[in-house]
Amino acid sequence: MSTIATPTKPAATYRLSTTGILRSEWHKLRTLRSTWITLFTAAALVIAVGITMGVTYDGDDSEIDTVVFTLLGIQLSQICLAVLGILVTAGEYSTGMIRASLTAVPRRLPVLWSKAAIFTAVAFTVSWTTNVVTFLTAQIWLSGTDKELSLTDDGVLGALTGSAAALTLLSLIALGLGALLRSVPGAIGAFVACVLILPEVLGMLPFGAVESALRHFPVQAAGSLGSLTRVENTIAPGTALVTLALWAAAIITTASLQLKRRDV
């Protein structure tokens, strides 16, 4: 008795796509409770400080740029977004999820680039929205003072956008450090020590060359953005934006080379 072979249906094949990887990274980011807590904290700090500055303004700080004055809370939210950027990359190494991510995407590099792209979009959107809300809210109390402005005044939207871009790029540098060091505590320590503290220490040195070089360090370059007027002893806003982008690109590129060559 002969048997008749039954043709089997070929297994479905799945093809990786950039859209699919981006969707996966967005799903991972938005489903983490820490993401929303960190973003809410970053936004709340900026708004709270902005309202406080508006309520307590008595004319003593009239020399301070209005946008800078209302967005002083960015100095606090900067830490929150930097920590979130580090968690996006180094956090997966601490939980071991990175193995699953790299198994699903054997080429590896699209994983890191997709993380950076999704994080950049989220960080900029939240930062820009927070800046606008803070500015408009603070103007409720600043109306009638020498700091009264509106969004339609020359340079206001540009300053708010520049501030958001600077904050996003600084956070992207932190994300790159997380991918490079693969340790949440280590990356946080490196960001605080190298990005925030080291320039202040170097600034104490009595050398003109050091002072000129420091203007191109991340935090110092970020200080050129987010202001209606040119900040003294800083580089031009356009140069500052390019400088920050190059810092972020250099660190992420270094992390990409390590990811490609080194085992998980």
Rounded to an integer, what distance in angstroms lies between the CA atom of residue 256 and that of residue 248? 12
| Rounded mean pLDDT, 200-217 | 85
CA atoms of 130 and 134, how far apart (whole Å) = 6
| Distance between CA atoms of residues 41 and 23, nearest Å | 25
Specify the pTM. 0.90
Spatial distance between the Cα atoms of 21 and 114, rounded to a whole number of angstroms: 7
**pLDDT above 60: residue 13:** no
Read off the pLDDT of residues 31-86 as tens digits, 9 standing for 90 and up: 989 999 999 999 999 999 999 999 998 877 778 889 999 999 999 999 999 999 99
* Distance separating alpha carbons of residues 101 and 94, to the nearest angstrom: 13
d(CA 262, CA 172) in angstroms, rounded, equals 22
Mean pLDDT of the 94-119 span: 89
First-to-last alpha carbon distance for the chain, in angstroms, is: 55
Nearest to 245 by CA among 260, 229, 227, 225: 225
Cα(181)–Cα(92) distance, integer angstroms? 12
Q: What does the pLDDT read at residue 14?
A: 56
Element (DSSP H or E) covering residue 24: helix 18-30
Alpha-carbon span 73 to 52, nearest angstrom: 10
Indicate the domain borders of the chain: 19-261
The tens digit of pLDDT for each residue in 154-173 reads 889 999 999 999 999 999 99
Q: Is the pLDDT of residue 263 over 70?
A: no
60 contacts: CB under 8 Å, gap ≥ 6: none
Confidence of residue 197 (pLDDT cuts 50, 70, 90): very high
Give the Cα separation of 8 and 105 in Å (integer). Answer: 28
8 Å CB contact between 221 and 245: no
Task: Reply yes or no on whether the pLDDT at 9 is more than 80.
Answer: no
Token pair in block for residue 94: 């601490």
Question: Cα(114)–Cα(19) distance, rounded to whole angstroms?
Answer: 9
